[in-house]
Amino acid sequence: MSGRTARALAAVAGTAMASAMLASCAPAGPEEVHFTFNKREAISFVTQVVDDYNASQSDYRVTLDTSGIDAVSASFVRGDPPDIMLANYNHEVSRFVSRCALSDLSQTDAAADIRPDLQPLLDQYGVCEGTTPALPYSVMAASVIYNKKIFEEHDLTPPTTWDELIEVCDTLQDAGVAPFYATFADAWTVNQGWFDYAAGGAVDMLSFFDALAAEGADVGPGSEHSFAADLADPMEKMQLLAREYTQDGAASRNYDAGNVGFAKEGGAMYMQGPWAFSEIAKTAPDAELGTFPLPMTNDPDDLKVRVNLDLAVLIPSEATNPEGAHDFLDYLFRPEIIQAYNESQLGFVPTTTGKPPSDPRVAGMIPFYEAGAVYQGAGVLIPRTIPAENYAQSIALGEDPKAVLTRLDADWARLAYRQPTQTTEDPR
């Protein structure tokens, strides 16, 4: 090898070494944060939130995963869960809570601003003692939707007692107007509306389900508390409304048909949540609609609205990037972001500093939410392995309420017997 060639090779090697050293000193780039969210109606909104967060800083890059709860559950089994979740708070998600598979968020700034009266609703699904594993992000309130124009035409106001409700129904029926537009062909609409509103308007759901949990496998004939004992009266009243005060053909109407039928003034009242407003507006964009809690007793102080903790933020204990997850959590709970999200979905902000939704269609529920006069629906608190939706539908269609509730008691007792005792310790 000539001296000139040797010097050339040495120069190339030196340049390569220097490049490698420079590369090793260069920034590695933002750390990835795996974020899961799958509420279909809000994916576009949350996508924009993620994009804005990524553009606002260079330490972390959030990647949005919309694959759903089944994929998330599988990732926990594999030991590779997401870094942060914004999830519907239900029985599926609560499994992670009761098994202590989530990080304690009690020391976050966001936790300090959550309304304390919402914690009992979280605890109804399960707890991990001494920790705060989930932070509510959006609360959806639901109650009777009514057509203000029809009420005004007949000089009616939203009823506040059971007797007033029957008077309203009789007045409408005598005038040839169906009091309620019902969609009994879809079991879920009966469950979340008719069943939940009737049960929650008459019985304290927190105390009732605490009592059922205490009874366990003994729920049934002879137990102090049971579905048959505690819910018989509200279910009989629900059946009365369904039998006497609904439009013709209610048994064959599904949710889609119901939205159109109600929009065309086929009934004065509709037992649906605020998610129906956008569907109704496709047919009647200028309809003047309002909301009020279904009165099930003759005491106006018993009025409450049904709520569900629509979304909660959770960080798995085995998150790969907990620091990035906490940084993104702080961003999600910025007042302007959590407010904008809930405003877009007609939801209620779960923080003490949050403002109520501005949409006039849900204004009737605001005083009850702010006063804490709320309950979670019985239909969402019964495990999915029990066909509660079908039971509710059968009552609406005329089956004996006592017989159906007795069957529900038996299902509850069997499930409680098979259910292992929940642990509040980390199972790993």
Same fold, 31-139+308-363 and 141-307+375-418: yes
> From first to last of its 428 residues, what are the pLDDT tens digits of the chain?
444 444 444 444 455 454 545 445 545 789 999 999 989 889 999 999 999 999 999 999 999 999 988 888 888 888 899 999 999 988 888 889 989 999 999 999 999 999 999 999 999 988 999 999 999 999 999 999 999 999 999 999 999 999 999 999 999 999 999 999 999 999 999 999 999 999 999 999 999 999 999 999 999 999 999 999 999 999 999 999 999 999 999 999 999 999 999 999 999 999 999 999 999 999 999 999 999 999 999 999 999 999 999 999 999 999 999 999 999 999 999 999 999 999 999 999 999 999 999 999 999 999 999 999 999 999 999 998 999 999 999 999 999 999 999 999 999 999 998 875 544 333 33
Class of domain 31-139+308-363: alpha beta
406: number of CA atoms within 13 Å, CB side? 7
Contact yes or no for 348/139 (Cβ under 8 A) = yes
- Alpha carbon separation from 411 to 215, 225, 415 (Å, rounded): 13, 15, 6
Contact yes or no for 138/311 (Cβ under 8 A) = yes
Going from N- to C-terminal start, the domains of the chain cover 31-139+308-363, 141-307+375-418
Separation CA 428–CA 50 (nearest Å): 32
Residue 254's nearest CA partner among 170, 196, 184 is 184
Length of the chain: 428
Separation CA 166–CA 137 (nearest Å): 37
b/e 46-59 (16+ beta carbons within 10 angstroms → b): beebbeebbeeeee
Pick the CATH number of 141-307+375-418 from 3.40.470.10, 3.40.720.10, 3.40.50.970, 3.40.190.10: 3.40.190.10
pTM confidence score? 0.87
- Kindly report the three-state secondary structure assignment for every residue of 129-177: CCCCCCEEEEEEEEEEEEEHHHHHHCCCCCCCCHHHHHHHHHHHHHCCC
23: number of CA atoms within 13 Å, CB side? 6
3-state secondary structure of 34: strand
What is the Cα 270 distance to its own chain's centre?
Answer: 20
